[in-house]
């Protein structure tokens, strides 16, 4: 039995070709089919140089197991979610490594109704089957169908907003040479928006670096363009565009946390009493807005598989993570990087206010550190020591995801990465940026020591 190391908690990711290659991709196709017994599966791939060949091998594995494959070609992750439900397929797989380094690739897997397959819900079983590499003979050879779903996907996106009430806006959009550019091109004829396009062409060589707007060094080009062009806002995406990042008209990067609050308030205005799901890293702003809007705030462990499962269980209308993942009940409880900016553009038009004005008050009410990552030798031991250090003063301690501690006027969350020896710190306060900053530095000092 060969040990396959590219399986992670929520998806598949690894270096090409030593951790993920055509042989492993073929086995994953066979194992997925053996585990799920689907009749039809949607497949697609992102813009990485290795993605098409890996996808071809994956398709071969599925078809050799007797599965009919609907290939939608180069796409974003959310287009697989859309196509799986739109075509009423039994499952879907996208070959993507999102914002990982250039020499990485991976896969995200869903079953019927675009329900995610994670370590808790079948991914580990698929891993074991792929490692064993002993598959029953397919009852027949599956059929490959090339299917066009982009037009239907664009039409679906446009149902979320009243495009005729969106005012003419100038928007800087930075695809980071990932897959978002072609979707913007398809949306453009339907919108009264002038797009200023940066790093627009898909290029798996990543000539401007890996598309990851969470990296501070990647933000300057978008911020500068917003100011230079006098744009109404800026948007940037990661490679498979399932995350969407915002810059206001001042060129200022807006933490995803405040966009979650903005979208929660907007949805609750249209759907009084609905449930909103949020992650534990930064919470107070979302909870405050949700409760004041008559909704129900539900905390869930970080990670797309957990959020989607919680949203289905609670029938939540919207879910948001401060890492810029936004989930929508009407989008099969899945995350989309296109819907958030459409909804924010509509909100700016309805209220006739710039993005800065929509978030300024909330940013002042709940100043936050943004996520700070630190490499440590023993993350579990560090969390235990931090908990011991603050326990006497804590008013509340929560272990939903890592360690969350509240102290009346400030709180923090410290969690371990699922994939590397890193801890991720988030700190927020009630209306006191100086306190937030001081406590952030205090925690970083403890972490460093």
My answer on whether 203 and 312 are in the same domain is: no
My answer on whether 33 and 134 are in the same domain is: yes
> Is residue 354, in this structure, part of any structural domain at all?
no
In which band, very low, low, confident or very high, does the pLDDT at 1 lie, cut at 50, 70 and 90? low
Question: Residues 367, 360: contact at Cβ < 8 Å?
Answer: no
3-state SS, residue 134: coil
Q: How many domains does the chain have?
A: 4
Q: What is the pLDDT of residues 54-97, one digit of tens each?
A: 999 999 999 999 999 999 999 999 999 999 999 999 999 999 99
Q: Single out the residue in 232, 253, 274 at which a domain terminates.
A: 253
CATH number at residue 385: 3.30.310.50
My answer on whether 288 and 249 are in the same domain is: no
Q: Single out the residue in 335, 364, 397 at which a domain terminates.
A: 335
Task: Give the single-character DSSP code of 448.
Answer: H
My answer on whether 18 and 131 are in the same domain is: yes
My answer on whether 379 and 303 are in the same domain is: no
Catalytic position from the list 71, 98, 266, 275: 98
My answer on whether 207 and 323 are in the same domain is: no
Place of tokens 């924010």: 344
Note the pTM of the prediction, 2 decimals. 0.96
92 phi, psi to nearest 5 deg: -155, 145
Q: What is the pLDDT of residues 193-205, one digit of tens each?
A: 999 999 999 999 9
Residue 396: the pLDDT is 98
> Is residue 81, in this structure, part of any structural domain at all?
yes
My answer on whether 33 and 145 are in the same domain is: yes
> Is residue 430, in this structure, part of any structural domain at all?
yes
Question: Residues 327, 311: contact at Cβ < 8 Å?
Answer: yes
Q: What is the pLDDT of residues 273-285, one digit of tens each?
A: 999 999 999 999 9
My answer on whether 16 and 138 are in the same domain is: yes
Residue-range definition of the domain harbouring residue 180 = 168-253
My answer on whether 139 and 20 are in the same domain is: yes
My answer on whether 32 and 132 are in the same domain is: yes
pLDDT at 42 over 70: yes
Q: What is the pLDDT of residues 149-189, one digit of tens each?
A: 999 999 999 999 999 999 999 999 999 999 999 999 999 99
My answer on whether 387 and 422 are in the same domain is: yes
- Proportion of the chain above pLDDT 70, given as a percent: 99
Catalytic, 98? Answer yes
Strand partners, 71: 43, 146
> Is residue 269, in this structure, part of any structural domain at all?
yes
Where would I find the beta strands (DSSP E) of 164-290?
Answer: 169-174, 193-198, 233-237, 244-247, 253-254, 275-278
Question: Residues 190, 163: contact at Cβ < 8 Å?
Answer: yes
- Proportion of the chain above pLDDT 90, given as a percent: 94
> Is residue 341, in this structure, part of any structural domain at all?
no
Give the chain's mean pLDDT. 96
> Is residue 3, in this structure, part of any structural domain at all?
no
Q: Single out the residue in 117, 149, 181 at which a domain terminates.
A: 149
pLDDT at 222 over 90: yes
3-state SS, residue 95: strand
pLDDT at 139 over 90: no
pLDDT at 209 over 70: yes
Question: Residues 282, 322: contact at Cβ < 8 Å?
Answer: yes
Rounded to whole angstroms, how far apart are CA atoms 242 and 78? 6
> Is residue 275, in this structure, part of any structural domain at all?
yes
> Is residue 399, in this structure, part of any structural domain at all?
yes
CATH number at residue 296: 3.40.120.10
My answer on whether 322 and 393 are in the same domain is: no
């Amino acid at each position: 039995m060969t040990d396959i190391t590219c399986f992670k908690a929520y998806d598949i990711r690894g270096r090409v070709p030593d951790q993920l290659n055509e042989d492993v991709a073929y086995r994953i196709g066979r194992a997925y089919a053996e585990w799920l017994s689907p009749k039809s599966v949607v497949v697609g791939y992102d813009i990485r140089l290795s993605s098409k060949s890996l996808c071809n091998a994956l398709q071969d594995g599925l078809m050799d197991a007797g599965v009919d494959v609907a290939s939608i070609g180069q796409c974003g992750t959310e287009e697989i979610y859309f196509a799986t439900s739109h075509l009423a397929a039994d499952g879907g797989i996208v070959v993507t490594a999102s914002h990982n380094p250039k020499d990485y690739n991976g896969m995200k897997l869903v079953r019927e109704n675009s329900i995610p397959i994670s370590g808790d819900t079948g991914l580990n079983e698929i891993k074991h089957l792929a490692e064993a590499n002993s598959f029953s003979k397919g009852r027949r050879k599956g059929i490959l169908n090339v299917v066009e779903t982009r037009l239907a996907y664009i039409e679906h996106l446009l149902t979320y907003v009243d495009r005729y009430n969106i005012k003419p806006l100038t928007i800087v959009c930075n695809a980071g040479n990932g897959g978002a550019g072609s979707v913007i091109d398809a949306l453009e004829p339907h919108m009264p928006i002038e797009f200023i396009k940066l790093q627009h062409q898909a290029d798996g060589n990543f000539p401007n670096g890996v598309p990851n707007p969470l990296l501070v060094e990647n933000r300057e080009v978008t911020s500068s363009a917003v100011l230079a062009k006098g744009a109404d806002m800026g948007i940037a995406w990661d490679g498979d565009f399932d995350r969407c990042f915002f810059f206001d008209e001042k060129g200022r990067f807006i933490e995803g946390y405040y966009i979650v609050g903005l979208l929660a308030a907007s949805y609750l205005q249209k759907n009084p009493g609905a449930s909103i799901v949020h992650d534990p890293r930064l919470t107070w702003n979302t909870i405050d807005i949700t409760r004041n809007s008559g909704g129900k705030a539900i905390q869930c462990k970080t990670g797309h598989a957990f959020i989607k499962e919680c949203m289905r269980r609670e029938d939540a209308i919207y879910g948001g993570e401060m890492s810029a993942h936004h989930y929508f009940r009407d989008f099969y409880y899945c995350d989309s990087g296109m819907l958030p900016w459409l909804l924010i553009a509509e909100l700016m038009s309805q209220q006739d206010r710039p993005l800065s004005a929509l978030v300024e008050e909330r940013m002042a009410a709940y100043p936050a550190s943004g996520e700070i990552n630190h490499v440590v030798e023993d993350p579990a031991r560090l969390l235990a020591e931090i908990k011991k250090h603050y326990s006497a003063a804590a008013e509340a301690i929560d272990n939903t995801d890592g360690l969350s501690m509240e102290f009346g006027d400030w709180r923090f969350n410290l969690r371990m990465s699922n994939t590397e020896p890193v801890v991720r710190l988030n700190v927020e306060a009630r209306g006191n940026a100086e306190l937030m900053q001081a406590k952030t530095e205090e925690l970083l000092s403890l972490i460093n020591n």
